[in-house]
Amino acid sequence: MATVTLDGAISGGGGGGGGGGGGISNYPGSLDLTDSPVGLYLLDSDLADSSGNGLASFVDTGSPAVTTHTEGGRDWRLFRSGSHLKIATGPASMLITGDCTVQLSVKLLESGTTQTLVMTGTTSKPAGNRLFGIVHGYVANRFTADHEHSGGTNVLSSFSNAADVAVADLEWAWHHLALVRDTTANTYTLYIDGVPQTAVNYGTDPTGGASGSIWLGCDETGNFGNVGAIMGNFAVYNSALSASQVAYHADRVLGGMTS
């Protein structure tokens, strides 16, 4: 088992997923601008939006602060319990109520608790808010898609890892995750390492709002579901990416492509 010291240094731990566990033991490549993300945050040397759309920058790092972690010749972001990043509230384009896709690269460092990897929506939890995100550990050893629509109904749909692998296989391997909402089909689909899980139907499309926010490393309240993980390659789209589009991005990440 690997450990994370108080100063954020990492020691121990094995390599990859092994034995059908998915993921990679080398280092992921970078997402690119294919499929026109409205926000692209590589989480490398800075926290700027690389999409060119100028979505608000990160404003909140929690405590302890999210730190830079260099691995494989590239910078990533190290999250520890209590740390998180929030893309600033507003503009309205940050509250995506139509078709939406979020994706990111993650290497989990711990498990056994509910850990929110990404959550979009408002800054609080009133009835009818627009939550949309990816959680790990809500059900042991499984990723969960969290979707709450305008009727205030919260739906957490759990999916096994590539082969419902043991936590030891999941930890310390990079994975590519994507969550896609299709408002035409009224479905959302979680992809793990480019593989689509069963699509889940929902009843009512999310409602609009004047502004929104996107959180990495905790839920929309800023104080629950903190992760122990290394993360990078976060992107959000105001479209429902197809299976082939998600596969393209997963191939870039899992294949270690850098250009």
Residue pointed to by tokens 């996107």: 214
- Give the mean pLDDT of the chain: 73
Q: Is residue 172 domain-resident?
A: yes
Query: What CATH number corresponds to the domain at position 68?
Result: 2.60.120.200
Q: Is residue 119 domain-resident?
A: yes
Please give the residue range of the domain that contains residue 178. Answer: 38-254
pLDDT of residue 110: 77
Please tell me the pTM assigned to this model: 0.81
Q: Is residue 131 domain-resident?
A: yes
Q: Is residue 110 domain-resident?
A: yes
At 166-187, the pLDDT tens digits run: 444 445 678 899 999 898 998 8
Q: Is residue 80 domain-resident?
A: yes
Q: Number of structural domains, the chain? A: 1
256 vs 226: which has the higher pLDDT: 226
List of residues 6+ apart from 240 with CB closer than 8 A: 99, 100, 101, 180, 181, 182, 183, 184
Q: Is residue 7 domain-resident?
A: no
Say how far apart CA 69 and CA 78 lie, in whole Å.
Answer: 6
Using an 8 Å Cβ cutoff, are 159 and 144 in contact?
Answer: yes
At 17-65, the pLDDT tens digits run: 222 334 444 567 888 899 999 889 999 877 888 888 877 777 777 888 8
Q: Are strands 142-148 and 100-108 parallel, antiparallel or unpaired?
A: unpaired
Say how far apart CA 136 and CA 113 lie, in whole Å.
Answer: 8
179 vs 113: which has the higher pLDDT: 179
Return phi, psi of residue 248, to 5°: -60, -50
At 127-154, the pLDDT tens digits run: 444 567 888 777 777 778 877 655 545 5
Q: Is residue 259 domain-resident?
A: no
